[in-house]
Amino acid sequence: MSEPPNRSNGPSDWSGVKLHVVTGKGGTGKSTVAAALSLALASHGKNVLLCEVEGRQGIARMFDVDQLPYEERRIAAGLTGDDGIPGNVYALHIDAESALLEYLAMYYRLGRAGRALDRFGVIEFATTIAPGVRDVLLTGKVFEAAKEGRRGKNTRQYDAVVLDAPPTGRITQFLGVNSELAGLAKMGPVKNQADTVMTLFRSKRTAVHLVTVLEEMPVQETADAIAELRGARLPVGGVIVNQVRPQDLDADDLAAIRADTVEVESLVSDLKSAGIEAGDEVVTGLLAEARDHAERRALEDAQRELVRGFDVPTYELPRLPGGADLGGLYELAAELKKQGMA
Amino acid sequence: MTRTRTRFGPLAATASSAPDLDIDALIDDPATGIIVCCGSGGVGKTTTSAALGLRAAERGRKVVVLTIDPARRLAQSMGIQELDNTPRPVEGLSWANGARAKRDGVPRMDAMMLDMKRTFDEVVESQATPEKAKQILENPFYIALSSSFAGTQEYMAMEKLGQIHQQAREDQSYDLIVVDTPPSRSALDFLDAPERLSSFLDGRFIRLLLAPARGPARMMTAGVGLITNAMTKILGAQVLRDMQTFVTAFDTLFGGFRQRAQKTFELLQADGTAFLVVAAPERDALREAAYFVERLTEDRMPLAGLVVNRASPAPVGDLSADEAMAAAARLRKKDDTALSGGLLRLHADRTRLVEREARLRERFAAAHPHVPTAVVPALAGDVHDLTGLRRVGELLAEG
C-alpha cells in the first residue's frame, strides 16, 4: 500500500449520502467500522446518529457508556476537524418491541388498542414469530430517523445516520424486507409505508458499505453481497478493508525474505548497533516471523486485487495491536477521513 | 501439557490457566454420539466441525457432519456443494496411523448442507394429509416463515439432527454426528427453538386467531373486536385472512412439532452429546463464548470445552516488544528503510498481539476456570481441502 494522498480537507466520496448502512461478515469488525465512520462524519459541527439493531449493546461497550435505551442519546464528540470544531455522535439502540409500540402510537393513535395488543401477546407474536415483521420494524425506525422533516418532540434532524446493520449474509434480505412486505400486503397503510422506506433505501441518499478483511471467505462473501445488493437494486457504497497487517516491510524486503536471500550479517550488525544482543535465537526468530509475515502479505495482496476488481471505492484500516478501544476508534475515524470516506 | 510443542514462546507457557481440552479422547470415546459446535459468526465453526469429523472418521468413527453454510471451496472439497439436504459420502479419506490395523475398508465420513426450507417442507408433508400439506405449503405466511424467519434455521438444524440421529440408531449408519450451528445473532436460538415454539402455540394471540374457526370465544369478544379492528386497520383484511388460514391449517401440526422439539432438546442434554464452544481470541468473540458457556451450563447441556481458533503464533526468543520498538527507533534515525527496523517493528507488533490474546484468554479462564480449552494457532491461508482439514484436526488435538 503506497501512502494515499491526504483527503481530509477535500469533499468526501459520499457527501450526498444521508443513510450509511455498514455491513460485513461476522468477525470482520463491522461494528467498529460503523462507530469509526460515525465519528468521522461528525466533524465540523455535524450531528450524526449511530444506530444498532441486533440487541447486542455493542455501541455502549465501544463508547464505554451505560446501556442504551430506545432513545437518541449523545454519546461522544465527533472527530475534531481542521477548524477545531467537532460534531456530535448520538446513539440509538433499536429494539423491535419498542419500535412497534412507538409506531402504533405515532401512526394509529392506538392508545387502548395498543395496550390490548400487548396483553394478547400480539406484540410478542409480531416481533418474534411473524415473518419479517421484526426487520420491517427495525428498518422502519432507521428510516424515520433518517428522513427529512422529522416531526415530534425530542427529535433532531441529523446530517447523517449510520446503521450498524446485520451481517452480509442477511443484509439484502434485511433491507429488502419492505419490498417483500409490500408484496404481502397489497394495499393499505402498511404497503404505503413499505414503499416509502424502499424509495429511500434504493435512492442515492443511501449507501451500503461492506466491511471485509483480506481473507478468502470474507472477500468472497463481500463479492456475493455486492451482487445480491445490485440484484435487489440497493445502492452499493464502499468496501472498507479492515484489520490490515502492518506494512513495515516493502516489496523488496518481502521478496528477499521469500527467496531466503536476506543478508544475515548486515542484519546482525544493524541489530547490534541498535543495542540488541543479536544471538542466533533472536535472528532465527525474527526471520521466521518475517517468513510467516511475507506469506500472509502475499495472500493479502491476492485478496486485495480481488477487492479492487469490485470496482467500488475502497478504504483500508490498520489492525490495531491494542484492540479497538475508544482511542482506537478516533484513530480509525481519522484514517477514514484522510482517505475520503467522510 | 503432556504433548511436546515444536515452538514454545515465553508467553505460551503462561497463556492460560484453564485445563487442556483433549480432543482425541473426546472423539475416540464411543460414548460420544453427538458433537455440537457453537459460537459467534466468523470464528471458524464450520472448519472446526469439518476438521473434527474428518479426524474422528480417520481414527475409526463412522461420522456424519451436518453443516449450515460452508465456504464454497470447503464444501466442494467435501463434495457437498449441492444443497440437497441428504448426507453424501466424502471421498479421499485414509486411516490415521494406528487406526488401520483395527479396521477394514476405508474410513467413513458423510457430510451434508442443511436446506432449511426443504427440511421444513418435509416435516409438514410427513405430518399432514396431502391436501392439508398443500394448503400450508402454498400459504404466503408459511413461505415467509420457512424461508426467512430468523430462528427457523436453528430450529430446522435441530430437527435434522433429530432425524439423522433416529436413522443412525435404526440402521447403524453413523456412530458420531458432528453439528455445525448457524451463526445466530441471538447466540443460542436453537436451544430456545422448542421453547419459543411452545410459547407461540400457547400464546393467547394464536388462540385468538383460531377462535373464529373454533367456536365460542365469548369471554374475549370485546378484546377480539378491538384487536381484529386494529390489525385490519394496520395490515389490511387480506393479510389477516392469510394469517388466519395459515394458523388454522398449521394448528393440527403443532402438537407433533412441539413433541419433536422437546425430544431433540432432551437428546442434546443426554450424556452422549458434547458441546464445543468455538471462539477467536478477540474481546467480542470471547464475550459471546462466555455467554454460550453460561447458557449451556444453565440448561444443563453437556459442555466439553472451548476451542480458541486463530491464535497468533507466539514469537520466538525473549526480545520484548518495548526493547524491539526502542531499537527500531534508534535504527530509524540512521536509516529508516532498513530491513532490520522493519523486522523489529513486526516483532513488537506480533508480541503485543500475542500478549493481548493471552490476556483475554486468561480473563476468560479466570471467570470460567473449569472449561477445558484447546488453542489452535492461525494458519496462514484458508482451509479448503482435506489436507488443510487434517492439519486443523492435528492442531486441535495438540491444542
Tens-place pLDDT, residues B39-92: 887 788 889 999 999 999 999 999 999 987 766 667 777 777 665 788 989 988
Helices first, then strands: H and E counts in chain A: 13, 8
- Using the Cβ of B101 and the Cβ atoms of chain A, whether some distance falls under 8 Å is answered with no
What is the pLDDT, as a whole number, of residue A63?
Answer: 95
User: What is the least distance, in Å, from the CA of B385 to any CA of chain A?
Assistant: 14
Bridge partners of B374?
A: B307
Residue B336 pLDDT level (bands cut at 50, 70, 90): low
- B295: distance to nearest CA of chain A, Å? 16
3-state helix, strand, coil in chain A (%, to 5): 50, 15, 35
In chain B, pLDDT over 70 holds for what percent of residues? 74
Work out the minimum CA distance from A50 to partner chain B, whole angstroms: 19
Q: Give, as one character, the DSSP assignment of residue A129.
A: I
pLDDT in tens, A44-98: 899 999 999 988 889 999 999 999 999 999 999 999 977 888 999 999 999 988 8
Residue A32 has pLDDT above 60, yes or no: yes
The arithmetic mean of pLDDT across residues B86-110, rounded, is 83
Q: Which residues of chain A are within 8 Å of residue B316 when distances are taken between CB atoms?
A: 281, 284-285, 288-289
The letter for the amino acid at B399 is G
- What is the structure's pLDDT at B23? 97
Q: Do A167 and B41 touch (CB under 8 A)?
A: yes
Contact (CB<8Å) B236/A188 = yes
pLDDT given at position A186: 65
pLDDT at A342: 92
CATH topology of domain B12-190+257-319+363-398: Rossmann fold (3.40.50)
Tens-place pLDDT, residues A260-313: 999 999 899 889 988 888 888 889 999 999 998 998 899 999 999 999 999 999
CA trace torsion A141, A146, A148, A150 (10° rounding)? 40
Among the residue ranges A142-156, A280-294, B206-220, B353-367, the one predicted with the least confidence is: B206-220
- Does the pLDDT value for residue B216 go beyond 50? no
Query: Domain map of chain B by residue range?
Result: 12-190+257-319+363-398
pTM beyond 0.95, yes or no: no
What pLDDT, on the 0 to 100 scale, is given for residue B8? Answer: 39
Q: What is the pLDDT of residue B5?
A: 39
Residues 6+ apart with CB under 8 A from A315: A238, A239, A240, A241, A335, A336, A339, A340, A341
**B10 to each of B7, B13, B312, how far by Cα in Å?**
10, 6, 14
Q: What is the ipTM of this complex?
A: 0.80
Q: Which one is predicted more confidently, B75 or A257?
A: A257
Kindly indicate the confidence band of residue B322, based on its pLDDT and cuts at 50, 70 and 90: very high
CA trace torsion B184, B185, B191, B196 (10° rounding): -120
Burial class (CB in 10 A: 0-12, 13-18, 19+), A154: exposed
Distance in angstroms (rounded) separating the CA atoms of residues B382 and A300: 11
B115 — pLDDT class (breaks 50, 70, 90): confident
Q: Which CA distances in Å does B223 have to A121, A207, B236?
A: 12, 44, 19
DSSP state letter for B316 = S
Cα nearest neighbour of A318 on chain B? B349
d(CA A256, CA A123): 64
Q: Tell if the CB–CB gap between A120 and B204 is shorter than 8 Å.
A: yes
The per-residue pLDDT for range A177-206, each reduced to its tens digit, is: 888 776 666 666 677 888 899 999 999 999
Cell triple for A327? 482511542
In order of start, what are the domains of chain A with their CATH numbers?
19-248+303-338 (3.40.50.300), 251-292 (no CATH)
Can you give the pLDDT at residue B376?
Answer: 95
Rounded Cα distance, A291 and A256, in Å: 10
- Evaluate whether B67 touches B49 at the Cβ level (below 8 Å): yes
Question: How many Cα atoms are found within 13 Å in the side-chain-facing hemisphere of B247?
Answer: 26
Q: Does A102 touch chain B (CB under 8 A)?
A: no
**Residue B237 half-sphere exposure toward CB, CA atoms < 13 A:** 0
Q: Beta partners for B305? A: B276
Rounded to 10 deg, the angle between the B339-367 and B321-334 helix axes is: 160
Q: CB–CB of A217 and B382 under 8 A?
A: yes
The answer to whether A92 and A137 are in contact (CB under 8 A) is: no
Determine the pLDDT at residue B379. 84
Is the Cβ–Cβ distance between B37 and B51 less than 8 Å? no
**Contacts of residue B205 in chain A, CB cutoff 8 Å?**
120-122, 124-125
For A274, which of B206, B230, B327 is closest by C-beta distance? B327
B280/B68: higher pLDDT: B280
Return the top range by mean pLDDT from A333-342, B66-75, B214-223, B307-316: A333-342
B258 compared with B319, residue with greater pLDDT: B319
Q: Encode A286-309: b = buried (16+ Cβ within 10 Å), e = exposed.
A: bbebbbbbbebbebbeebbeebee
Predicted local confidence at residue B201, as pLDDT = 59
